[in-house]
Amino acid sequence: MAGNAAAYHRSAGRHPASSQTSHMKPPRPASSGARSRAARSMPPTAHLDAAEGVDLLAELPGAPGVLLWGALRDFMLWVETPAGARAGLFAAGAGELRRRDLAAHAPDQELWAPLLTLAQMADAPERADAGRVVFAVRTIARWAERAGVPATRLAFTRAAALALPQEAAMALETGRLARDLVHHAEAESWFRRGIRLARGRDWESYAWGFIGLGVLYIRAGNFPAGRAVVGRALRAAHKRRLPAIAGSAHHHLFTLCVEAGRMEEAYEHARSAVRAYGDGHPRLPALAHDLGCFWTEQGRFTRARAIFEASLPCFTDPPSRLLALSNFSRAAAGAGDRATYQRARDEAAGLAALPRCAEAAAESLLVLAQGDACLGEWARAEEAARRAQEIAARRGEARTQMGAEAHLEAARNERAVQSARTELAETPGLALQAEALAGAVRASLTRHAAGTPA
């Protein structure tokens, strides 16, 4: 997608019911038949490795990280050991030792109960209740989401999914989190596993699985594969009458048609997405954002600025708001609106410094550098591009790193980087379609904000 559309793709494809924040009920143990089916699609590497420990401890240095890492290792050892062989899995007194560690290091209050449950598991692992210990692990993953530690959240979500091999929603949630941390091979395995588990049993999860897999392929630049799997999601959504998923599929097909330069088809998919979403749908602001990104790349800054402004109040989560603000700032700069550029840039720069926004920081700083260059703010552009390059290199975001390096060199020479995207000629007919689409999206967002029905 043009420019910064990954702001949406980073969070798209989520099955709403699979979030750690929803319906945290203790799971039922798997039946032998369910375990057999799941085993045929088990993702690679169930055990912990040193790299995962490094990621977790880097996010949570000191006692909190050590406590969580130890609890995760205990749980994974319990999961990987057949039920009949768990007696004596831990040394005598292991549970008491872990409880002493908890008392000595006093972790976050919300972690006390789940960590205590996992410590008790070490007392008699052969008698540990599967539903109870898995619930403890999922509670820690939910805490990690709120704490803004994505590697920790992935580690505990993955552990829960391995303990519940029959749960399609857990597999899809793990795939989404792995994808967002750029663990592409692992993410693909989890998405495909979730799709196989959901087929014939949970058609909503089945279709969401194809959406999530499509987002993965789109981010990796494999647009033909992305189009194929999103097309399967759309067909399933129509067949099973799932309008929200149909809207998401049309949304992604819009971005794929933009990449291919098929604008008539792209705008038709965007209109279909607006109709399927309806007023108040949580993904409508993301569609507005993607439209704004495309129009910014095409130099239609005034149109882009208006739609970014309309959608900005909908983005309250810090990483998403950071991306929205950076694009709003760039569009305002391109439109010559220096005051709006400055306000949006100031807020974005503050958010980019927060640890919770690490996943969006490099991309957003690169977009800020592009806006700075539009107004000839070369010192700012150089600094933003330098920070984007450093963060992207540290996080392994190769595409953003390459773009940041190009903008850094250009800013040092006081010149703007020419977009690699070919500007598409906008015929009068296409311009009318674009303006009508922008107006429809802004009106829907305004109606929702005002509580007015369509």
Residue 90's pLDDT is 95
Which pLDDT does position 1 carry in this prediction? 42
Report pLDDT for 426. 83
Confidence (pLDDT) at 283: 92
- Res 57: pLDDT: 85
Residue 15's pLDDT is what?
Answer: 42
pLDDT tens for the chain, 454 residues: list them. 434 434 433 433 344 433 333 333 344 444 444 444 444 445 545 445 556 677 888 889 888 899 999 999 999 999 999 999 999 999 999 999 999 999 998 888 899 999 999 999 999 999 999 999 999 999 999 999 999 899 999 999 999 999 999 999 999 999 999 999 889 999 999 999 999 999 999 999 999 999 999 999 988 889 999 999 999 999 999 999 999 999 999 999 999 998 888 889 999 999 999 999 998 899 999 999 999 999 999 999 999 999 999 999 999 999 999 999 999 999 999 999 999 999 999 999 999 999 889 989 999 999 999 999 999 999 999 999 999 999 999 988 888 999 999 999 999 999 888 765 556 678 889 999 999 999 999 999 988 776 655 5
Architecture of domain 299-420: Alpha Horseshoe (1.25)
Report the C-alpha gap between 378 and 380 in whole angstroms.
5
Residue 450's pLDDT is what? 65
Question: Which sign, positive or negative, has the C-alpha torsion 277, 252, 188, 182?
Answer: negative
Stretch(es) of the chain classified as CATH 1.25.40: 299-420
